A and B are shown apart, each in its own frame.
Chain A
Amino acid sequence: MKKIGIFVLCIAVIACFSGIATAKTLKIGTMSPLTGPYAQDGTYILQGVKTAVKAFEASGGLPGYDKIEILAEDSACDGGKATMAANKLINSDVSAIIGCYCSSATLPSSIPVDEAGIVMLTPASTNEKITERGFKKFFRLPPRDDVQGWSAVKFMENSLKAKTVALIDDRQTYTVGLVDNIKRFAKETGKLEFVAHEHITPGDKDFTAILTSLKRLNPDVIYMSIYQPEGSLMARQVKQLEITSTLVTEDACFQPKFTEVGGAATEGIYLTFAAPVADNPVRSDFVKAYSKDWGVGENEIGSFSFFAYDAAMLVLEGVKKAGVEKLAETIRASKSLGATGEITFDEKGDRALAHAVWIVKDGAFVPYYNPLTDTMY
């Protein structure tokens, strides 16, 4: 009796495996921080990809494939963990990888992906070095940090007419890279004087000592090159200490949590982020689908969900058009309309996107200044 049982079990197991073998599955890997301080951003990215796959399947799916599977890995905003995640995804035979959030995770983890010849698209990492390495199958959806740094400098020089600036970063690849860009572009005109450059530790909650020092220096602008968790707290402490300097920050703070946690203290803060996109059907469909899928309000969608959605759609449409083998060439040659506007890529895998300066008004981000034309919105 027992032997028969084992025999039946074996048959069942074999049947299961052969079942998987015959069903053709398209595997897409995602790497984003699902634990740790940036888990919210990582979740936004994963949810954007999931919404894309769901919408794509609803509109007909992939001919020749039975299903589309998302393998979600945790990159934890850490180079080591992200590289491990990348190797795991490579070994699982994914056709494309979407990730990571932090530049410090994308820089090292894209190396094994490139060596394995797999297409990788980042929906959030903006450090310009990422696409300067000549990778043939790497694409970036958001605008680069040299664009962001330049825009911030133009804004501080021409719109705020600032003379003195204090910089704060948290010593991570993205934040330090951005501050370097700002220093570089400010040097060209020489209009800004940097009176302080402070560093915080990610995870810290108390910045009062640094902020008190800055209050004494009383710079025109305090530029916060930090991520959202620290950004919200710092905004609150700036208000608490009654510091009158103007606060300018960047795209890592550009997400609903920034104003939710920071509350009234974030009112009037300026942020650089990709220029506003004219409403298009893809965008409005995405907004509707996303808020329905995840039960959130239409203005509570994470900013990088949009880029993640576009990245996933590029992969799916690319595979549909010319198969997995030619995916990189298809994406490079493609010209499509996405939730983040017109999508085309240059030689390096970057899009020609501009930054705008936004302002927090009644808890929402509103376009404020266009650094390219030196005009207000």
Chain B
Amino acid sequence: MDTSSFLIQQLINAIFLGSIFSLIALGYTMVYGIIQLINFAHGEMFTAGAFAGLIVLAGLQKVGFVDSHFIISMVLVFGLGMAYVAVLGVSIEQVAYKPLRNASRLAAILSALGMSIFLSNGMMLSQGVSDRGFPNALGWEGLKIMDAKISYGQVFIIILAFALMYGLWIFVTSTKLGKAMRATAQNKPMARMLGINVDKTIRVTFMIGPGLGAAAGIMVGMYYGSVRFDMGFIYMIKAFAAAILGGIGSIPGAMLGGMIIGFVEVGWSAFLPSEWKDVTTFVVMILVLYLKPSGLLGQSATEEKV
């Protein structure tokens, strides 16, 4: 393997990893942006999505539908998985966060932590403690760029991740609901005064954020081939770092942060001793926060301004 194929391969690895971190980070940043809450249960939403996707995919695989109708089954797997987690997200918001919306922020964070433990244990009890294999729907074949290889599965996942992020961007910038979301994030009382249904906007946020996390969960399960009830933890930490790095509350910031974390992780293990990989990720985060406390693309004043 010559140096240029090596670099191309590592670039593919980094983009792949980065796009998954970005998708998860978006969930953090959207929820934080709108109600200033770190949703610690987000990692569990990611895992729940992976399990939902696994159940749908395994069912479709059993009747042989995946081989005959690949696209429709992918739409079903991602659609149902994301829909399930969107409903889960809204219910969690109603049960655990809405009653605490006017309480101290610490109470809401504790509620989020509790929810995270509750969901994680729930999945442990319902789905078992061990790894569950994911049906190999994506196959092993792929494209060759010199000596570097990108599998069709990776191509599919990267395209889907970018499509979801682009879709979100369009939604937030050019739809009425997206505008309401930004207004609610900036200033809740003012938004309410102008006739925006704040509760509804928050609910929509709690559908989209976890929904994107679920998509990432399905992607991880599908590509790496296994899911386990506690797999959300390590992704949660890294995506959280990505969201903070990019500036929590900022949607492009989360996308950028996720990519940076992906590139740092891959770049470090590619050229330097791999045992320092995780340390580096967080050192980069600390450095960025030291130089720019609000994150790369964050605004310094996310507090309510009235």
Q: Any chain A CB within 8 A of the CB of B179?
A: no
Does the CB pair A242–B274 fall under 8 Å?
no
Query: Are A206 and B129 in contact, CB atoms less than 8 angstroms apart?
Result: no
A233 in the interface (beta carbon within 8 A): yes
Contacts of A59 in B (CB 8 A): none
Q: Give complex CA distance A240, B153 in Å.
A: 10
* Contact, CB under 8 Å: A205 / B277: no
Q: Does A43 contact B (CB under 8 A)?
A: yes
- What's the minimum C-beta distance from A200 to chain B, rounded to whole angstroms? 7
Q: Which of A200-221 contact B (CB under 8 A)?
A: 200-201, 203-206, 208-210, 212-213, 215-216, 218
Task: Write out, one digit per residue, whether chain A residues 22-48 have a CB within 8 A of any chain B CB (1) or not (0).
Answer: 000000000000111101100100000
Determine the distance from Cα of A208 to Cα of B124 in the docked complex, in whole angstroms: 28
Contact assessment for B129 and A43 in the assembled complex, using a CB-CB cutoff below 8 Å: yes
Q: Which of B18-69 contact A (CB under 8 A)?
A: none
Known pairs A35-B124, A263-B136; A208 contacts B129 (CB<8 A): no
Residues of B within 8 A of A201 (CB): 234, 277-278
Residue of B nearest to A170 (CB): B275
Which of A138-146, A254-262, A284-292, A351-359 lies at the interface? A254-262
Q: Is B111 positioned at the interface, with any CB of A under 8 Å from its CB?
A: no
- For residue A281, give the distance in angstroms from its CB to the closest CB of chain B: 30
Q: A329 to nearest B CB, angstroms? A: 37
Docked complex Cα distance between A72 and B12 (Å): 46
Q: How far is the CA of A306 from the CA of B289 in the complex (A)?
A: 52
Asked if A208 contacts B225 (CB within 8 A), the reply is no
Q: How many residues of A contact B (CB 8 A)?
A: 40
CB distance from B224 to the nearest CB of A (A): 5
Instruction: Say yes or no: is B280 at the interface (Cβ < 8 Å to chain A).
Output: no
Question: Which among B10, B136, B140, B278 is the interface contact of A212 at CB below 8 angstroms?
Answer: B10
Q: A262-276 CB contact bits vs B (8 Å, 1 = yes)?
A: 111000000000000
Contact assessment for B1 and A215 in the assembled complex, using a CB-CB cutoff below 8 Å: yes
Whether B230 lies near A36 (C-beta < 8 A) is yes
Closest A residue to B274 by beta carbon equals: A198
Query: How many B residues face the partner with a CB closer than 8 A?
Result: 39
CB distance from A46 to the nearest CB of B (A): 11
User: Within the complex, which residue of B225, B265, B275 is in contact with A199, where a contact is CB–CB below 8 Å?
Assistant: B275
Counting residue pairs across A and B whose Cβ atoms lie within 8 Å, the total is: 101
What are the residues of chain A within 8 A of B132 when measuring CB–CB? Answer: 261
B residues in contact with A37, CB < 8 Å? 228, 230
What's the least CB distance linking A370 to chain B, in Å? Answer: 31
Please measure, in the bound complex, the distance between the C-alpha atom of A216 and the C-alpha atom of B131, giving whole angstroms.
31
Q: Are the CB atoms of A39 and B140 closer together than 8 Å?
A: no
Contacts of A261 in B (CB 8 A): 131-133, 225-226
User: Are A263 and B265 in contact (CB-based, < 8 A)?
Assistant: no
> A233 to B224, Cβ gap below 8 A?
yes
In the complex the two chains form, is B129's CB within 8 Å of A216's CB? no
Q: Is the CB of A233 within 8 A of B274?
A: no
A198 and B226 alpha carbons, distance in the complex (Å): 23
Do the beta carbons of A212 and B225 come within 8 Å of each other? no
* A206:B9 contact, CB within 8 angstroms: no
Minimum CB distance partner of B13 in chain A: A208
0/1 per residue, B224-249, Cβ < 8 Å to A?
11101011011000000000000000
**Distance A260 CA – B131 CA, assembled complex (angstroms):** 9
B266 at the interface (CB under 8 A from A): yes
Cα distance A43–B131 when bound, in Å?
13
* CB < 8 Å neighbour of B269 from A213, A236, A262: A213
How close is A219's CB to chain B, nearest CB, in angstroms? Answer: 12
Query: Pick the contact of A257 from B10, B16, B131, B275 — CB < 8 Å?
Result: B131
* A232 B226 Cβ-Cβ under 8 A: yes
Q: A171 near B: Cβ within 8 Å? A: yes
From A198, A209, A215, A242, name the one whose CB has the most chain B CB atoms within 10 angstroms.
A209
Residue A322 is within 8 A (CB to CB) of chain B in the complex: no
- Which listed residue (B1, B13, B130, B149) contacts A209, Cβ 8 A? B13
Residues of chain B within 8 A (CB-CB) of A240 are 140, 142, 149, 151
In contact, B269 and A239 (Cβ under 8 angstroms): no
Give chain B residues whose Cβ lies under 8 Å from the Cβ of A215: 1, 6, 9
A209 and B140 contact, CB distance less than 8 A = no
Question: A205 touching B231 by the CB < 8 A rule?
Answer: yes
Q: Restricting to B257-289, which residues have a CB under 8 Å from any CB of A?
A: 265-270, 273-275, 277-278
- Any chain B CB within 8 A of the CB of A241? yes
In the assembled complex, 7 residue pairs joining A and B whose CB atoms fall closer than 8 Å, in A order, are A35-B129, A201-B234, A205-B224, A206-B17, A212-B13, A242-B149, A261-B133
Q: What are the 7 tightest A-B residue pairs by CB atom distance, in nearest-first order? A: A40-B130, A39-B129, A199-B275, A209-B269, A208-B13, A209-B266, A261-B133
Given contacts A198-B274, A204-B234, A205-B220, list 9 more A-B pairs with CB under 8 A: A36-B230, A37-B228, A198-B269, A199-B273, A213-B269, A213-B270, A236-B225, A257-B130, A257-B131
